[in-house]
Amino acid sequence: MNIQDLHSIFLKYPSVSTDTRKIKKNDIFFALKGDNFNGNSYTQKALEKGASYVIIDEKEYELNQQTILVDNTLETLQKLANYHRNYCDAKIISLTGSNGKTTTKELIHAVLARKYKTIATKGNLNNHIGVPLTLLSISPETEIAIVEMGANHLNEIKFLCEIAEPDFGYITNFGKAHLEGFGGVDGVIKGKSELYDYLIKNDKSIFFNADDDIQLEKLKSYSKKYGFSSTTPDFYQIEFVKADPFVTLQVEDILIQSQLIGAYNYQNCCAAIIVGKHFKVDLNTIRLGIENYTPDNNRSQIIKKDTFYIILDAYNANPSSMKAALENFNHLEKTYKFVILGDMFELGTSAKQEHQAIADLALSLDFKETLLVGENFYNTDTPFTKLKTFEKLKEYLKENKLNPNASILIKGSRGMALERVLDIL
């Protein structure tokens, strides 16, 4: 079956699933394969749960007219998404970067949704499967789709751009994330820049941080760019006011008081502002969008638990975001600061050096106590208490009563699942 015919079916049943546990009646189920599963083997189950069609790529699982055999299920999903993207009239805004992608995506969505029919990547479904699923969620009414793109190797962003064909793009930053896959910081810059490379090649529009020297240099000769800055009048001026604990900005004559902690969220708010301005959203509406956005999913959440003031930032971590979180916590006007840091993943040969650097940074800051959790932090040279596993952390916290007035920062990579600390506290 060709993509055009498959798309005609999709228009009748415009809901796609790749997980039989979450399948809904009339979904089209794509039988994807993973390292430990073969989606084809769930064909019968998908039909029993109400799937309208099942897309398979192994003939032995062909059951009836509701099963559609293709050469490669994943490639078919990606081609269908690209076809649907071009079938619809929605403008596509893509964004990537080392830190802040999801928060920035949510902020842009919060601003644009006040004027336009807007959809955005759900959660962090930002890879070679998530991006197609986001594109297939575009409806005829959708005016703008915000598509988050993640990558941990070169050429991944380039590939995602070929599927999404974005009209606009933004890179949050170039940080020390996925160093193992990218082969170092230079690889990160090259890999993330594939979004700008695509946009420039196709004469599309770029939003950027003009205070970022790397971005400024890359785009110096490109005309279709829209930048923000806190320092130079050459670009749209957005003033950073404070972050104690929430980020406050001044734009023209309007003060915007976000519900985001950490000075590092200043740039994320700025991105939403510059995108909103470009799409002719008035400043007061932009203000309302930003001020009413509250982070969740373990991203810089402020939690009051008993007498503790907790900053939970356990969604993910890399050296850049860890450094920013520690420095921000250090600047908060709190008397008893307690820090729990979990290992950072995907750093390859840089892991030992980067974990030691974070331990050294924490030692130089004004914290009453710091706990380091995980094998990488356990191997650092530092006077801090080091705990090899989460179970050891659990034992420590049960045996050692915390100061009831403690302000606690919890930060670590997703695999550490440090949000479990809340149950112990």
Q: Into how many domains does the chain fold?
A: 3
Boundary (domain end) residue, out of 244, 266, 291 = 291
- Answer yes or no: is pLDDT of 298 > 70: no
Sequence-distant (6+) residues with CB within 8 A of 376 are 343, 344, 347, 351, 352, 355
Distance CA 369, CA 340 (A): 9
Same domain membership, residue 358 and residue 262: no
Asked if residue 308 is part of any domain, the answer here is yes
275 vs 279: CA distance, rounded Å? 6
Q: For the domain that residue 122 is a member of, what is the CATH number?
A: 3.40.1190.10
Residue 24, domain member (yes or no): yes
80 is a domain residue? no
Higher pLDDT, 332 or 258: 258
Q: Are 230 and 238 in contact (CB under 8 A)?
A: yes
User: What's the confidence (pLDDT) of residue 297?
Assistant: 66
> 261 pLDDT band (50/70/90 cuts)?
confident
Q: Is the pLDDT of residue 333 over 90?
A: no
Identify the weakest region by mean pLDDT among 131-145, 181-195, 205-219: 181-195
The pLDDT tens digits of the residues spanning 97-146 come to 988 899 999 999 999 999 999 999 998 789 999 999 999 999 999 999 99
| Torsion (CA) 405, 338, 390, 420 in degrees, nearest 10 | 50
Are 198 and 271 contained in the same domain? Answer: yes
For 300-326, letters b (16+ CB in 10 Å) and e give bbeeeeeebbbbbbbbbbbbbbbbbbb
pLDDT band at 228 (very low <50, low <70, confident <90, very high): very high
Find out whether 3 and 80 touch, Cβ atoms under 8 Å. yes
Instruction: Report if residue 162 sits inside a domain.
Output: yes
Q: What is the pLDDT of residues 36-95, one digit of tens each?
A: 889 999 999 999 999 999 999 999 999 999 999 999 999 999 999 999 999 999 999 999
**Which residue among 70, 98, 125 closes a domain?**
70
Q: Tell me: do 246 and 346 sit in the same domain.
A: no
- DSSP 8-state code for residue 315: S
The pTM (predicted TM-score) of the whole model is 0.84
CATH number where 64 lies: 3.40.1390.10
Residues 6+ apart with CB under 8 A from 81: 131, 132, 133, 135, 136, 163, 164
Task: Out of 70, 97, 125, pick the residue that ends a domain.
Answer: 70
Range of the domain at 46: 3-70
Residues 114 and 64 reside in one and the same domain: no
Mean pLDDT of 272-295: 97
Order the strands of the 254-261 sheet from edge to edge.
239-243, 246-251, 254-261
pLDDT in tens, 347-356: 988 999 999 9
Q: What is the token pair recorded at 300?
A: 């810089």
User: Half-sphere exposure of residue 29, counting CA atoms within 13 Å on the CB side?
Assistant: 30
